[in-house]
């Protein structure tokens, strides 16, 4: 195992609640619609632009906004979100993640963030985790977002290794598909029934260890 490629939201910390609250605020202000709780799953693991398109479709407003107007709305949502995540601290790191990062660093395994979030540097800084990661790849760096493999391929390139020599960590269906398409070994956090395409599924981040990732790699590498 020459590298570990981390999704951010739902793997290192749970910022989903901040994302959805910011989208709800925008949907109400801009479109006059209330997003139901169930809609949060529709936005999991996809980019800001793709999320906005789904909300516009939900509001039955397809084709009524220019590219520039959509960009402005996406920026408005991001301003709401950035204001919210400034309250993040190291206490918001998900269980098991800090020991995992420490163990991987001790073994000399490079780690890269491959996230649909363009705010990854700010989040890592607020969590005091920036020093563990060699690089960060975000949607600005690649042609296609998840479930395309681009972001995980780019993450492996940041540490100059073949994706097939890496393990990828994800909590979304789109993310697991992206890891698999990149040729890396997918380890997912969540419900096995939902994430059955992953090589290994654990129920929570607390179950993640460096040994588990090594074993997954040895068993499932292509």
Rg, C-alpha atoms of the chain: 17
Give the other-Cβ count within 10 Å of 72's Cβ.
Answer: 12
Give the residue among 20, 22, 23, 24 at the shortest CA–CA distance from 10. Answer: 20
CA distances from 192 to 4, 32, 117, 166, 199 (A): 21, 36, 24, 21, 10
Give the other-Cβ count within 10 Å of 107's Cβ.
Answer: 11
Active site residue 9: yes
**Three-state secondary structure call for residue 9:** strand
Of the residues 2, 7, 171, 211, which is catalytic?
7
**Three-state secondary structure call for residue 6:** strand
Active site residue 37: no
Of the residues 9, 37, 141, 150, which is catalytic?
9
In this structure, the chain runs to a length of 222
Which positions are annotated as active-site residues? 7, 9
């Amino acid at each position: 195992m020459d590298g570990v490629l981390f999704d951010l939201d739902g793997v290192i910390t749970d910022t989903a609640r901040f994302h959805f609250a910011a989208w709800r605020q925008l949907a109400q202000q801009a479109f006059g619609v209330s997003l139901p709780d169930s809609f949060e799953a529709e936005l999991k693991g996809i980019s800001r632009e793709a999320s906005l398109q789904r909300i516009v479709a939900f509001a039955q407003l397809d084709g009524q906004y220019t590219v520039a107007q959509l960009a402005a709305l996406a920026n408005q949502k991001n301003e709401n979100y950035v204001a919210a995540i400034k309250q993040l601290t190291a206490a918001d790191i998900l269980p098991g993640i800090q020991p995992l990062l420490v163990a991987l660093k001790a073994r000399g395994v490079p780690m890269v963030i491959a996230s649909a979030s363009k705010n990854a540097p700010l989040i890592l800084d607020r969590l005091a985790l920036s020093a563990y990661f060699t690089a960060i790849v975000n949607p600005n760096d690649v042609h296609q977002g998840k479930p395309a493999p681009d972001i995980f391929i780019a993450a492996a390139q940041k540490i100059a290794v073949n994706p097939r020599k890496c393990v990828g960590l994800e909590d979304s269906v789109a993310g697991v598909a992206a890891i698999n398409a990149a040729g890396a070994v997918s380890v997912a956090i969540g419900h096995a029934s939902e994430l059955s395409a992953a090589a290994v599924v654990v129920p929570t981040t607390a179950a993640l260890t460096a040994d588990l990732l090594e074993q997954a790699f040895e068993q499932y590498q292509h």
